[in-house]
Chain A
Amino acid sequence: MKVTLATHGGLAAAINYRLPPRVVDADTLTEPAAAELAQLVAAATAARAPAAARSGRAPDEMSYTITVEDGGHQVVLAESDTTMSQEFGALLSWLEQRSAGA
Chain B
Amino acid sequence: MSSTRRPVNCITPPHLLQKLLESDDQDIRRAALNTLLSNAHLRGERAVRATLAGAITAPDNGRRTIFDCQNRTFLPTAVMVRSEDEAESTDNSVNQAFDGLGTTRQFYRDVHNRNSIDSRGLRLQGYVHRGTNYNNAFWDGQAMVFGDGDGRIFTDFTGSLDVIAHELTHGVTEHTAGLEYHNQPGALNEHISDVFGSLVKQWSLKQSAAEADWLIGSEVFTPGIEADALRSLKAPGNAYDNSIFGKDPQPDHMSKFVQRPDTDEGDNGGVHINSGIPNKAFYLTAVSIGGFAWEAPGHIWYESLNASSVRTQFQEFADTTYFKAEELYGAGSTEQQAVLDAWREVGIRISGVPAAAAARAAGDGLTALTRQIEALSAEVNELTKEVQAFTAGK
- The reply to whether the CB of B365 lies closer than 8 angstroms to some CB of chain A is no
Q: Are B217 and A12 in contact (CB under 8 A)?
A: yes
- A63/B264 contact (C-beta < 8 A), A11-B138, A89-B74 known: yes
User: Do A8 and B272 touch across chains, with their CB atoms under 8 A apart?
Assistant: no
- Pick from B45, B131, B246: contact of A18, CB under 8 Å: B246
Asked if A46 is an interface residue, CB under 8 A from chain B, the answer is no
Stretch at the interface among A29-37, A68-76, A78-86: A78-86
Residues on B with beta carbons closer than 8 Å to the beta carbon of A13: 267, 271-273
Is B281 interfacial (CB 8 A cutoff)?
no
* B136 and A12 contact, CB distance less than 8 A: yes
Tell me the B residues contacting A by CB distance below 8 Å: 45, 72-74, 131-133, 135-141, 145, 150, 153-154, 157, 163, 166-167, 170, 173, 180-182, 189-190, 193, 217, 220, 230-231, 240, 244-246, 248-250, 264-265, 267-268, 271-273
A58-B140 contact given A12-B217, A92-B73, CB 8 Å threshold: yes
Please determine whether B135 and A18 come into contact, CB atoms closer than 8 angstroms.
Answer: no
Contacts of A61 in B (CB 8 A): 136, 138, 140
Q: Known contacts being A59-B181, A59-B189, is A12 close to B230, with CB within 8 Å?
A: yes
Interface residues on A, range: 20 to 34
B249 & A9 in contact (Cβ 8 Å cutoff): no
Let me know if A97 and B137 touch, CB within 8 A: no
Q: Secondary structure at chain B's binding surface: helix, strand, loop or mixed?
A: loop
Q: Known contacts being A19-B245, A59-B138, is A8 close to B267, with CB within 8 Å? A: yes
A-B contact pairs, 16 of them (CB 8 A): A11-B138, A11-B217, A12-B136, A17-B249, A17-B267, A18-B245, A18-B246, A19-B245, A58-B139, A59-B167, A59-B170, A59-B189, A60-B167, A60-B170, A61-B136, A89-B73
Contacts of A19 in B (CB 8 A): 244-245
Give the CA-CA distance A65 to B263 in the complex, in Å.
12
From A9, A12, A84, contact of B154 by CB (8 A): A12
List of A residues within 8 angstroms of B133 by Cβ:
96-97
Q: Does A28 contact B (CB under 8 A)?
A: no
Chain B residues whose C-beta falls within 8 Å of the C-beta of A11 in the assembled complex: 136-138, 157, 163, 166-167, 217, 220, 230, 272
Contact of B181 among A8, A12, A57 (CB under 8 A): A57
Q: How far is the CA of A89 from the CA of B77 in the complex (A)?
A: 14
Most buried by B among A6, A78, A81: A81
